[in-house]
A and B are shown apart, each in its own frame.
Chain A
Amino acid sequence: MEKVALKDSGYRLKKAKILHTKKMTANEKFFEIALRENSPLDHEPGQFIMVSLPGIGEVPISVCSSPVKRDSFDLCVRAVGKVTRSLHKLKAGDEIDIRGPYGKGFPIRILEGNDLLIIAGGLGIAPLRSLITYILDNRRDFGKVHILFGCKEPKEMLFGDELEDWNKRTDLHYACTVDRADPDWAGNVGVITTLIPGVDIDPIRTFAAVVGPPIMYNFVIKELLAKGIPENQILLSFERNMKCGNGKCGRCQIQNLYVCQDGPVFHYERIKNLSEAF
C-alpha cells in the first residue's frame, strides 16, 4: 500500500496559536485563538470548528466570538472528555490544530430587521455569544433584542462580565435565572421557561434563537409557541457526537439530516417531527 500526500484532503489541519486563556468555572475554560498570519477564520455565528490535539484526538467546538473580530476567534470549552481535558491544560503560546468552520450557523440575512429573543441554557451561551456579539457589532441592523440566560447555579455562570455589560445596556433587554440559588444570589430562581411569559415581544416579527441542553428544548419551545412565535421563526442549535464534520461518519445523523452539514442550527419547523431530534 502506497501513501501519497493528499492536497485536497478534508482532514487537513490548520495551525493555530492560543493567545489568551481564562478559567471561567470549574469545568469551562475560555480560549482566544489566532490562525497563522492572523488569517480570518471566516465563520458565521453558530458554526463550529474541529479542534485537534494530534496524538490525542479531535472534537467539535462552537465558535463563540463574532466574525467581525477577524484577527482571532474565541472558544469556550467544557472539560468532559480526553481531548477537552487536555485542552484545559494548554496556555497562552501553545499551539493547536483546527479545521473548519463547519455547518450552517444562524441565518443572519433572515434575522436582520427583525426582533430577536435569544435563549441560552448553560453552555448554550457559547454558540449564542457569537450571535449576540455579532448583533452588538451591527446593532442597527436588528430590531429589539431580548436575551434570556439560565444555568444551574450562580457559580456555573459563563461570561459573567459580559452578562453584566448586557444587563446595563439600554439597547437590549437581558434577564437571567438560576435553578438553585446560593446565599449571594439576589436574582431570579427557577428554570429558564419561567422567564419567557414575562418577555414583551411582538411574536410575528420575533425570531427566537435557542441553545441549551437537550432537555431544555421541549419546554422552551412549548412556551415560545404559546407566545405566538411561528414555528419557522424558532431556531435551535443541536449538539451531537461528530467525527468528520463532512456529513459522512454518521454519528450526528438525525433521521435523514446530518447535524454537521445540515445544522447545527435548524428551523424548528424543519425538525419538529424528527423523533430522534430531541
Chain B
Amino acid sequence: MEDMQYVILKKERFNDFISRLSKMQKLIAPVSKGYNNFAFEEVSSGSDIALKYIPTVLPLKKFFMPQRETLLEFKMAKGADAEAVVELEPMTIFGAHTCDLAGIQCLNMVFSERPKDYNYLTRKNRITLIGLECNEYCDEYASCHLVNASFPGGGYDLFFTDLGDYFIVHVKTQIGDEIVDVTGFFEKADVSHMNDLERLRDHKRKVFSNEVPIESKKLPELFDKSFRARVWKDLDERCLACGNCTNVCPSCYCFDIRDELDLSLKNGVRFRIWDSCQLEPFARVAGGINFRKERSARQRHRYYRKFRYSVDRFSRFFCTGCGRCTRTCMAGISLKETLNELIKESEDRVWKKWL
C-alpha cells in the first residue's frame, strides 16, 4: 500500500456502502437523538447516520473501555481458580470526528504503557475506525484547534471528508484497504479531488484558530504557574462533584474494581467500572484521610491531567477539545473560560511584577 492513498466515494453510493459495511460486522455510527443530541449506536443503513453532528453525549471510549467490564470469573468453591477474561465484540465505527480519534489515541497510549492492559488492547484490536472530518466548528464549546485535534492526525483505518457530491477517503491501514476492496464502491481519487480537499483544508485553516488566546506549546508552562490560581477556588464553589465531566471525557479512564456474586452465591465476577476523580471518596484511604478532599483540588486535578501531567508522561495533551465537559456541566463550568481565567491571572502576575 502506498503511504498516501486516496479514493473517493460518490454520495449516491453512500447508502449502499453503509449497508454493505453493516453486513460485514456490527456497525456503529452517530445517530440523532433529538435536538442537538447524538449518540454512537448500531446502524444498518446510511439513512440512520447523522453525517452532520456535534459530539455525541458519550465518546467512543464506551466501546474501547466499556462502562462496566468483567475482568475475572470465579467460583466460591474452595480451591477453585479465578479465570481472567476479556469481553470482546468485533465492530466497525463510522463517523468518528478528529477529537474522538484523538481520545482513542490517548487511551491507546495509556493502556499500552507498561504494565500493559490486555483487556483494553485485545478489544481495541477488534475495532475498525473510520473517521469523518469536521468541515466547520460543531459549536462554541469546542477547543479542538488549541489541542491539535482539528485536523486528522492518524488513529483511523479510513478517513472520510465530505466534499459535496462525494467523500474523499484517506486509506491509512491494511484493514482500511481491505474495506475499500471488499465493498467495491470506491474509485481512485484524481488531481481535481485532491485540489478540492486542499481547498477545504485551506478554508479550515482560516476558520479554525486557537479558541483561547495562547499558543498551544505554552499551555504546559501556563499550568506550571497556575497550581495556586484563584480560578480553582472559584470552581470549588461552583462544582457539584457529580462526575459528569469525566464520564463524558474521551480521555478519562479512571476506574473502580468491584466484586459481585450471583444469587446462588456460588459464582461471581470481578469487574471494573468507570469512576471519577471528581467524586469525594476517590482518593480517600481506608483510614479516612482524603488526599483530594476539596472540590478545588479535584477540579484542578482534572485540568492538570488534561494539560500538564499527560505532557510529561505521553508528550501530548489529553484534552481533545471536544467540549463535552462544558456542554454537560450542570454548574456551567466551562473549559474555555477556565483556561481564559488562567491566562488572565498569569498576565496579571506579569503586570504586577512591572508595576
Selected contact of B118 from candidates A8, A15, A52, CB within 8 Å = A8
Selected contact of A6 from candidates B84, B111, B275, B313, CB within 8 Å = B84
Contact status A95-B78, CB under 8 Å: yes
Q: A273 to chain B: closest CB distance in Å?
A: 10
Closest residue of B by beta carbon distance from A94: B78
Is chain A's interface secondary structure helix, strand, loop, or mixed overall?
loop
Contact status B253-A248, CB under 8 Å: yes
Contact status A2-B277, CB under 8 Å: no
Selected contact of A84 from candidates B111, B284, B286, CB within 8 Å = B286
B257 on interface, CB distance cutoff 8 Å: yes
Contact status B116-A58, CB under 8 Å: no
In the bound assembly, the distance between CA atoms of A56 and B270 in angstroms comes to: 9
Contact status A241-B313, CB under 8 Å: no
B261 on interface, CB distance cutoff 8 Å: yes
Closest residue of B by beta carbon distance from A248: B117
The interface size of chain A toward B, counting residues with CB under 8 Å, comes to 47
Contact status B115-A80, CB under 8 Å: no
Contact status A3-B86, CB under 8 Å: yes
Contact status B117-A246, CB under 8 Å: yes
Selected contact of B88 from candidates A1, A58, A84, A239, CB within 8 Å = A1
In the bound assembly, the distance between CA atoms of A54 and B75 in angstroms comes to: 8
Contact status A249-B256, CB under 8 Å: yes
**Which residues from chain B contact A97 at a C-beta distance below 8 Å?**
82
Contact status A243-B76, CB under 8 Å: no
**Which residues from chain B contact A80 at a C-beta distance below 8 Å?**
286-287
Q: B111 to chain A: closest CB distance in Å?
A: 7
A10 on interface, CB distance cutoff 8 Å: yes
Known pairs A244-B257, A256-B308; A55 contacts B268 (CB<8 A): yes
Which of B51-59, B210-218, B289-297, B320-328 is the contact stretch? B289-297
In the bound assembly, the distance between CA atoms of A8 and B84 in angstroms comes to: 8
A254 on interface, CB distance cutoff 8 Å: yes
In the bound assembly, the distance between CA atoms of A54 and B291 in angstroms comes to: 28
B181 on interface, CB distance cutoff 8 Å: no
Contact status B88-A276, CB under 8 Å: no
Q: B70 to chain A: closest CB distance in Å?
A: 7
**Which residues from chain A contact B257 at a C-beta distance below 8 Å?**
11, 57-58, 243-244, 249
Give per-residue flags for B99-120: 1 if the beta carbon is below 8 A from chain A beta carbons, else 0.
0000000000011010111110
Closest residue of A by beta carbon distance from B84: A9
B194 on interface, CB distance cutoff 8 Å: no
Selected contact of B312 from candidates A5, A8, A248, A256, CB within 8 Å = A256
**Of A9, A58, A95, most B-chain CB atoms within 10 Å:** A9
**Which residues from chain A contact B85 at a C-beta distance below 8 Å?**
3-6, 9
Contact status B259-A57, CB under 8 Å: yes
Q: A77 to chain B: closest CB distance in Å?
A: 11
Known pairs A1-B89, A249-B254; A56 contacts B72 (CB<8 A): no
In the bound assembly, the distance between CA atoms of A56 and B72 in angstroms comes to: 13
Selected contact of A54 from candidates B74, B115, B253, B256, CB within 8 Å = B74
A255 on interface, CB distance cutoff 8 Å: yes
Q: A197 to chain B: closest CB distance in Å?
A: 28
Q: A246 to chain B: closest CB distance in Å?
A: 5
B167 on interface, CB distance cutoff 8 Å: no
**Which residues from chain A contact B258 at a C-beta distance below 8 Å?**
57
A13 on interface, CB distance cutoff 8 Å: yes
Known pairs A2-B88, A240-B285, A276-B297; A58 contacts B110 (CB<8 A): no
Contact status B117-A256, CB under 8 Å: no
In the bound assembly, the distance between CA atoms of A64 and B140 in angstroms comes to: 56
In the bound assembly, the distance between CA atoms of A161 and B207 in angstroms comes to: 75
Contact status A251-B115, CB under 8 Å: no
Selected contact of A239 from candidates B74, B116, B119, B285, CB within 8 Å = B285
Known pairs A10-B115, A250-B275; A276 contacts B291 (CB<8 A): yes
Contact status A6-B79, CB under 8 Å: no
**Which residues from chain A contact B255 at a C-beta distance below 8 Å?**
243-244, 248-250
A183 on interface, CB distance cutoff 8 Å: no
**Which residues from chain B contact A253 at a C-beta distance below 8 Å?**
277, 283, 301
Selected contact of B286 from candidates A13, A214, A241, CB within 8 Å = A241
Q: A254 to chain B: closest CB distance in Å?
A: 7
Contact status B253-A58, CB under 8 Å: no
Contact status A3-B283, CB under 8 Å: no
Selected contact of A58 from candidates B87, B265, B270, B313, CB within 8 Å = B270
Q: A227 to chain B: closest CB distance in Å?
A: 27
Give residues 287-345 of B contacting A (CB, 8 Å): 287, 289, 291-292, 297, 301, 304, 308-309, 312-313
Contact status B71-A250, CB under 8 Å: no
Contact status B259-A56, CB under 8 Å: yes
Contact status B117-A10, CB under 8 Å: yes
Closest residue of A by beta carbon distance from B246: A250
B122 on interface, CB distance cutoff 8 Å: yes
A198 on interface, CB distance cutoff 8 Å: no
Give per-residue flags for A18-56: 1 if the beta carbon is below 8 A from chain B beta carbons, else 0.
000000000000000000000000000000000010111
16 intermolecular pairs with C-beta atoms under 8 Å apart:
A3-B85, A3-B88, A9-B72, A9-B84, A11-B71, A13-B84, A56-B259, A58-B270, A240-B285, A240-B291, A241-B283, A247-B115, A248-B253, A250-B253, A250-B282, A253-B301
Given contacts A4-B122, A57-B258, A240-B283, 7 further A-B contacts (CB under 8 A): A6-B118, A10-B119, A239-B287, A244-B255, A244-B272, A249-B272, A276-B297
**B residues at A contact (CB < 8 Å):** 70-74, 76, 78-79, 81-89, 110-111, 113, 115-119, 122, 227, 253-259, 261, 265, 268, 270, 272, 275, 277, 282-287, 289, 291-292, 297, 301, 304, 308-309, 312-313
List 9 tightest A-B contacts by C-beta distance, closest first.
A250-B254, A9-B84, A256-B309, A80-B286, A6-B86, A54-B74, A8-B118, A11-B71, A12-B84
